Chains A and B, each alone.
Chain A
Amino acid sequence: MSKNSNNNAKNRKAIVSESAGWILTGGRVVDRTGERIADVAIAPDGTIAAVGVDLDLKALGLTKAPVLDVTGCVVSPGFVDIHTHLREPGREEAETIESGSRAAALGGYTAVVAMPNTEPTIDSVAVVRQVLDAGLAAGLCDVRSSGSITLGREGDALSPMAELAAAGVRIFTDDGCGVQDDRLMRRALEYASGLPESVVLAQHCEVEALSHGGHMHEGEWSSRLGIPGMPAEAEELMVFRDIALSRLTGMVVHFQHLSTAGAVALVRDAKASGLNVTAEATPHHFTLTHAEVASYDPVFKVNPPLRTAEDVAAVKAGLADGTIDAIATDHAPHTDDVKEAPFDHAPCGMLGLETALALGITELVEPGVLSMTEFIAKMSWNPAAIARIDGIHGRNIQADEPAHLVVFDPALEWAVDPSALASKSNNTPYAGRVVRGKVRHTFLCGVPTVLDGEAQR
């Protein structure tokens, strides 16, 4: 266990010391073993004491534990977001680690991996520690730090990967852009394969020579709207290259935010050929298309861009057949004033942490694209494994496991209201959209970070 994890554990113990435990009754318990109706008892030490029907609370020493009736709700391992922009350090006006952690907790997340495109870049141990410390101080979510593959995300020289890994980094990425230089990417994979920790290189796939100057998906709508486009092939070429480099180096590559039918097909074929690659998709890439940009509202500007209806269908098919392992939010807060710029001047990105669960239920589970268990797999234990935190997160709900849990009502209908979100920013593309599925309680190490839909700190 890394030094970082030890720190986390010690700190949590301080938080939970006054707890009397919690009892969740009548919930639909879902984990990788399947689902059943059961009560869940959480011990004062932050672990799960027992799971079952007719629990003997006296024997468990939990007679003073408050009881929450969660009948009708799903109780599952807390969600893990492996793609979160927390903006701190550098852009604290858009989000802080605290406000982002609160948004995460309200979205049902018990762990997030902060992306490294901060100012300064997360390419040194000092910035990693700053992020981890701020996460612990906020105490709302297990905040992990990624590290950049290249110094300053400039694509020229490798970051000190061994130092960063020793400080707790497990995902390396230049997210925001892809590593353009083929040789440098090969070297990064080879070098990472020799680290004592198990790490993964995650790629934002975009060949900039082809996407240069583009602000939306290149196609029917970009042509009509007169906005320079980014062709699907810019993403697919880098997916293709990294599959080749994964084969060459024997290293795992994780593909971030797949958005095109061609990219999904490449990853599907690579997996079929036995290659060890993983992939994620965002809620916006399985719910929205480039037609949204007709409003010229930069809230719909994101990278990779919103693509065609066929691409959306392909992303859903990739989620359904297991090509895409995880749902990741790419939560990317921006203040109103920078988003109220001309479309081609506005920054890319949209909020995601507080809407991912509802969009997944409304657009994937209810229409039958995924079963509830398959959906939660992509929200919890699959991303936990990709982030190398599956020893702690995404665990089965059974005695002695850490109580990182989410309790959500899958049927609760609500309308997305940007100003009601906990994020410091308002840039959700779903304003006014009616969705189903809302978090009721979130437990981090047995401590409620969210209770009855309210953040606890």
Chain B
Amino acid sequence: MNRPVTNPRHGRLRSLLTISDLGPDIATGISEVMTLTDSFVEVSERTIPKVPALRGRTVVSLFFEDSTRTRLSFETAAKRLSADTMNFSVSTSSVKKGESLRDTIETIEAMGVDAIVVRHASAGVPRQIAQWATSAVINAGDGWHEHPTQALLDCYTIRQRFGEITGKRIAIVGDIRHSRVARSNIAAFTALGAEVTLVAPPTLLPPSLEGWPAKVSTNIDAVLPTVDVCYMLRMQRERMTEALIPTIREYSTRYGLNERRAELLPDHALIMHPGPMNRGVEIDAAVADLPNTVIVDQVRNGVAVRMAVLFLLLGSGTTWGGEADV
């Protein structure tokens, strides 16, 4: 049942489901994406930001969970590479009429697609789809599991500011337990040699951290002066009803990045957030607009990183020669 996860055109990556798919040497895999991203950042800055790299190829967005931002980012990336894009909208589709996941995939594949970009509320769905599909599968976020392109764009953003990630100290603050962003970022950051500290109340940590290459703290004030990057996660209001935190206000007081806490950070430290932000909950409005807050860069880099991933999976090689504009 297990099919090789390689692209037949260059014998490398075929699907991107988790950060570890970039292995066996994850650091080298990520570096390759970063180098490709550099050239696509250049494309994005052109007057007409479009190249024919994936002309004739079709990328379908299959979003079972609403996420306008990630979907638009992928679709923009595909269009800048001249791929055709399709959007399989679950709210209007047969999925609502009870079609099984496998039947949905077979239907989409019968139309002739080259890549399926999947977002699903259930962990593991992209892996299940990759077992059934012949096209490339890109995980655009699966439940609490992984969101590999988010981690790649975060790596790229840090690298853009600092030149490298090796040796950097990164705090990830907030709801680690329910965060696919945290799981992918911990894998990517530590593979690149960064030192990661998770900062959260124990109820918002995974039940077991066995095998996780990260330190843990419940004292954000002690951690902030020591870090190069402070990565804030989105806090969801329903965590209160699950008895994971008493109130949003208490969470905000104990773990939110307010102006006083931002002062504790070293001058060079970056403030990051995967979006969408809850201003006033995990991050104060004023902090979100500080010069070291790179949230907008993250979004901008997201398009170029996703171009790199699409090119790596569907293109002719692992490097791009910079074809002429179309």
Contacts and interface: CB of A to CB of B under 8 A. Distances in A.
B146 A226 contact: yes
Given A340-B102, A342-B101, A342-B128, A229 B207 contact: yes
B127 A231 contact: no
Interface in A290-344: 295-297, 337, 340-344
Nearest to B205: A223
Nearest to B178: A226
A227 B178 CA distance: 9
A344 B100 contact: no
A222 interface: yes
A340 B100 contact: yes
Given A340-B102, A342-B101, A226 B127 contact: no
A309 to B, nearest CB: 13
A303 B125 CA distance: 21
Nearest to B180: A226
Contacts of A226: 123, 142-146, 180, 183
B120 interface: yes
A241 interface: no
Contacts of A343: 122-124, 128
A219 interface: yes
Interface string B125-145: 101100000000000001111
Contact of B209 (A223, A229, A296, A297): A223
Interface string B176-208: 000010010000000000000000000000111
Contact of A296 (B123, B183, B210): B123
B95 to A, nearest CB: 11
Contact of B123 (A225, A295, A297): A225
Nearest to A293: B124
Contacts of B100: 337, 340-341
A224 B128 CA distance: 17
Contacts of A345: 122
A119 interface: no
Interface size class of B (residues with CB under 8 A): 20 to 34
B98 to A, nearest CB: 10
A344 B123 contact: yes
Q: Which of A224, A297, A345 has the most CB of B within 10 A?
A: A224
Contacts of B207: 218-219, 222-223, 229, 231
A301 to B, nearest CB: 11
Nearest to B132: A340
A220 interface: yes
B321 interface: no
Contacts of B291: none
A210 to B, nearest CB: 12
Interface residues of A, number: 22
A224 B142 CA distance: 13
B122 A344 contact: yes
A223 B180 CA distance: 11
A218 B120 CA distance: 22
Interface string A203-227: 0000000000000001110111111
A266 B183 CA distance: 36
B24 interface: no
B101 A341 contact: yes
B211 interface: yes
B211 A220 contact: yes
Contacts of B123: 225-227, 296, 343-344
Interface string B257-270: 00000000000000
Nearest to A338: B100
B287 to A, nearest CB: 28
A296 B123 CA distance: 8
A242 to B, nearest CB: 25
Nearest to A228: B144
A219 B208 contact: yes
Contacts of A295: 127
B143 A344 contact: yes
B125 A342 contact: yes
Nearest to A341: B101
A305 to B, nearest CB: 13
Interface in A339-371: 340-345
Nearest to B2: A295
A220 B146 CA distance: 16
B17 to A, nearest CB: 10
B127 to A, nearest CB: 5
A218 B211 CA distance: 15
Given A226-B144, A341-B101, A342-B101, A296 B211 contact: no
A158 B320 CA distance: 71
Interface in A225-240: 225-229, 231
Interface of B: 100-102, 120, 122-125, 127-128, 142-146, 180, 183, 206-212
7 contacts: A218-B208, A220-B211, A223-B209, A225-B123, A226-B123, A340-B128, A342-B101
Q: Which 5 pairs from chain A and chain B are nearest by CB?
A: A296-B124, A226-B144, A342-B122, A223-B206, A226-B145
Given A226-B146, A227-B123, A296-B128, 14 more contacts: A220-B211, A223-B212, A224-B206, A225-B124, A226-B143, A227-B143, A296-B124, A340-B102, A341-B100, A342-B101, A342-B122, A343-B122, A343-B124, A345-B122
